[in-house]
Amino acid sequence: MEFDSVMLSRMLTTLTLAFHIIFATIGVGVPVLISIAEFIGIKKNDPHYTLLARRWTRGFTITVAIGVVTGTCIGLQLSLLWPSFMRIAGQAIALPLFMETFAFFFEAIFLGIYLYTWERFKNPMYHWFLSIPVIIGSSLSAFFITTVNAFMNTPQGFELVDGVIKTVDPIQAMFNPATPTKTFHVLVTAYLASAFVLAMIAAFQMLKGNITDYTKKALHLTVTSAFLFAILTGVAGDLSAKFLAEHQPEKLAALEWHFETEKGADLILFGTLDEESQKIKYAIHLPKMLSFLAHNDVNAEVTGLNEFPKDETAPLYVHYLFDFKVTFAAFMTLVASLFVVFSRWRREWVHNQWLLRAIVLCGPLSIISIELGWILAEIGRQPWILRGYMKVTEAATTSNGVGAMLWLFLGLYIMLGVICTVVLRKMFINNPAEAELEYRFKD
């Protein structure tokens, strides 16, 4: 099968983003869990929590290193694969791209200090304080890069004359209408996914029979944190729906297979669609809930997809992706809620085999949900790369070398994935927590 340069550019960008987002998510969320664990360890004088922070920090540095490489690849590919987009939007997004780099350097400096100053202070709180700038740096890095994506959805702050930017207000471009909801959503879902990834590790160890005070405390900390972040994720999802209803109604309509403008619109879950007749079968209809989700009013009017030109709306399979994402989010919220309820009122059920298996499952589901979220963000904006100004087909390179680049970067990511896996296994599998605990705190 032959692919043109546009499709090859999309495939390579998708590959890079899909790989990078795993490490970027962990890079944003894990510092928060590290800081919480160390703080509890200091306040309770509990070596288990302190060891959790130390071990998570060591693993975190490996993921940061991989994230640096893949992040650099994204910057390179923006210029190589999407030159027309960068020619128009480059001036508007230069500020957040620079600030993202600055935030990363800020994080990296304090991460190095944090990593090499364990037990160097008489008061351990001074060491804990060093975790705060790491959190700030990683979260700001995610914030600034997400504003670029937000700008692509609701571009503003520039004047385009004959395809050339004449005036630019970079602050207005960065703080566009999509920025608040998108950045909030990205941050809380990164915290949630990281909590479940760490919870997965603890639950897996317990399923193998390694039920110790260390694994129990790791599980309790991570799943309780996941419960709190799941609530915030629900809030972020609600705010995102209201943003779409106001600023990207065609995207919301595509996600929900809502074709006709009407008041009291139903929320549609699952089902199958005949695109010719726009008939939906086997779906679950929640009466008037789409109106409520979009406007906080069950009788509010929701704009239908038929109000927009067909060549300016997203492919309708995004509905299935949205269903999967919502289902996974609901499952993770349920699992975290059950754990919190059991830990308070039915402690003997907390380490139930089925609950532990569900927590293990939440690890990969949380990362898949992150991937689905970014796919929905990009596919849901189609056919635009810069909504209202430039389509994807107009932005891609016309070079013939993209196919070779695709194979080259695929090989690079496979190599990085293998290296990361091998290093983490050697770092932790051959160095069990119990042995390290005995060594470090034997006195």
State pLDDT tens for residues 368-424: 999 998 888 888 888 888 888 888 888 888 878 888 888 888 998 899 889 888 888
Q: What is the mean pLDDT of the chain?
A: 86
CB 256 within 8 A of CB 286: no
Q: How many helices (H) and strands (E) would you count in the chain?
A: 15, 8
Angle, CA of 308, 312 and 314, to the nearest 5°: 100
Half-sphere exposure at residue 278, Cβ-oriented, CA atoms within 13 angstroms: 10
Is residue 355 scored above 70 in pLDDT? yes
pLDDT band at 443 (very low <50, low <70, confident <90, very high): very low
> Which DSSP symbol is given to 265?
P
Domain ranges of the chain: 5-261+303-440
CB 266 within 8 A of CB 378: no
Lowest-confidence range among 120-124, 272-276, 294-298, 337-341? 272-276
How far is residue 260 from each of residues 76, 302, 303, 379, measured CA to CA in Å? 42, 8, 7, 21
Is residue 173 scored above 90 in pLDDT? no
Q: Beta partners for 263?
A: 301
User: In this structure, what token pair is assigned to residue 409?
Assistant: 């970067």
Please write the tens of the pLDDT for every residue from 204-252. Answer: 888 887 778 888 888 999 999 999 999 999 999 889 988 988 888 889 8
Q: Which residues contact 377 (CB under 8 A, 6 or more apart)?
A: 149, 153, 182
Lowest-confidence range among 49-53, 322-326, 430-434? 430-434
Is residue 260 scored above 60 in pLDDT? yes
Determine what percent of the chain is predicted with pLDDT higher than 90.
23
pLDDT band at 184 (very low <50, low <70, confident <90, very high): very high
